[in-house]
Amino acid sequence: MNNQMLLLGEKILKEKDTIAKKLHKDRMSGVEMTEIERSQAEKMETHIVQIRAEFIELFGEALLNHENKDEAMEKIEKWCKETGKYFFKLGVPLDEALKDAGYYRKYIWKELEETMMELEMPATEVIKVVYLIDPLLDHSIHCFSMAYVKFHQLTLENAKQAFLELSVPVVPLSKGVGILPLIGNIDTGRARLLMEETLKQSAHLKLSHLILDLSGVMIVDTMVADQLFKVIEALSLVGVKTIITGIRPEVAQTIVTLGINLNGIQVKANVYQAFEELHG
């Protein structure tokens, strides 16, 4: 049996490029694409066929080293991580990418069946091959999906972080004076970044006064109010005086209802009034 397993592995390794090309041709024939998309796919064809051949090669190696299944699993995991990231960057949807699994199963088993028939392998030995190959194929689907989702989540987190950073813009108005116009809701993530970015940008711009404009903030609850007070307190510790402007009537009503104390905090109706007082 060992010799037959070795022969199966050698046959897969020998035919990996041919199998990959046939598989790729069959796979692409079932994909609907525009002329532009098909042109782009053709440019990447050589590289993608190579990726497919590398994956098929892993099964040939698994057969050659069939007593060390864990090593085969590790190699497949590594391939899936790299390929999951690659296909995600190409913009291929996960459900479309996972359709490849059926084609790999079809073509790998087609080659194995032909060779096993030539070798006249007994049923008991064929089953052992099944127990080796199928779990590896199933494991590859799981690993590829996990890798793809991981990079998708990472991209979303990076996009969110970039958005949050843009949502805390301290704009210089004049020497020593800047304005932070807040727009929209302030959640926990944005509140944390608000503290970090405001202190960092105020120091960078060498501000002595910061106008905190709330005209774009529709809702103020205890969490938002508490965070704003923390920002004001932190700014005062580094020598920056804060003036709050643009409190909307509905927000003012909420502040009163919540019993939030604004004593000791400079409040002006709008940015113009605050700027006039600073330069009066």
Note the pLDDT tens digit of each residue in 37-71.
Answer: 677 777 888 999 999 999 999 999 999 998 888 99
Note the pLDDT tens digit of each residue in 109-156.
Answer: 999 999 999 999 998 889 999 999 999 999 999 999 999 998 888 887
Tell me the DSSP string of 134-201. Answer: HHHHHHHHHHHHHHHHHHHHHHHHHHHHHHHHHTS--EEEETTEEEEEEES---HHHHHHHHHHHHHH
pLDDT higher than threshold 70 for residue 2: no
pLDDT of residue 1: 47
Share of the chain above pLDDT 70, in %: 91
pLDDT of residue 206: 92
Share of the chain above pLDDT 90, in %: 44
Which band of pLDDT confidence, cut at 50, 70 and 90, is reported for residue 18? very high
> What is the radius of gyration, based on Cα positions, of the chain?
31
- What domains sit in the chain, N to C, each tagged with a CATH number? 2-164 (1.10.490), 171-278 (3.30.750.24)
- Across the range 1-27, mean pLDDT stands at 91
pTM of the model: 0.60
